[in-house]
Amino acid sequence: MTLHRATPAAHAARAATAAVVVSLTLLLAACSAPPKPPPPPPSGLAELMERPGERALFDGIRAYDDGQYPQAEVALRKALAAGLQSGRDRASAHKLLAFITCTSERPAECEAAFRAARAADPAFALSRSEAGHPLWGPVYRKLATPAAP
């Protein structure tokens, strides 16, 4: 009786075949996994208006646009207290509060509102025309410039 010994090349071929089989098995298993569900659709305006914070923000923006600054301030503070879900919305509320407090000669509150806007949304920035305003522009620019060591 004679024993046949496999050559090193035959061992390598079997190992390569096994690796291909394992790889194909894993690939097929991954393909058979169910697809991820699509993300939920964005909230509509009607849904947003049902949230107290977002409703108060809307009211505050409307009052600000109508030049009713005391009413706007009350509504914006209410929006922030109610817990706006979006950091960008919180930044918008703080920005308008900064504008109101700067024009009402309350510079410390103006500065605090700009700081809060930046904390709520690190990408917060005034537009070029807003940053150039004679009342709140200097306060904003002072905060935007890094302090010297």
pLDDT in tens, 98-115: 999 999 999 999 999 999
Q: What's the burial of 120, exposed, middle or buried (CB within 10 Å: 0-12/13-18/19+)?
A: buried
Q: Is residue 12 part of a domain?
A: no
In CATH, what number is assigned to the domain containing residue 67?
Answer: 1.25.40.10
- Decide if 96 is inside a domain: yes
Number of domains the chain contains? 1
Q: What is the 3-state secondary structure (H, E, C) of 11-74?
A: HHHHHHHHHHHHHHHHHHHHHCCCCCCCCCCCCCHHHHHCCHHHHHHHHHHHHHHCCCHHHHHH
For residue 95, give its domain range.
Answer: 46-144
Distance between CA 12 and CA 15 in Å, rounded?
5
pLDDT of 108: 96
The answer as to whether 100 is a domain residue is yes
Average pLDDT, the chain: 84
CA distances from 122 to 61, 96, 125 (A): 21, 17, 9
Any domain includes 77: yes
Residue 6 lies in a domain: no
The answer as to whether 88 is a domain residue is yes
Asked if residue 80 belongs to a domain, the reply is yes
pLDDT < 50 positions in the chain: 148
**Per-residue pLDDT reduced to its tens digit, 16-41:** 666 666 665 655 565 665 667 777 66
Q: Is residue 23 assigned to a domain?
A: no
pLDDT score of 37: 78
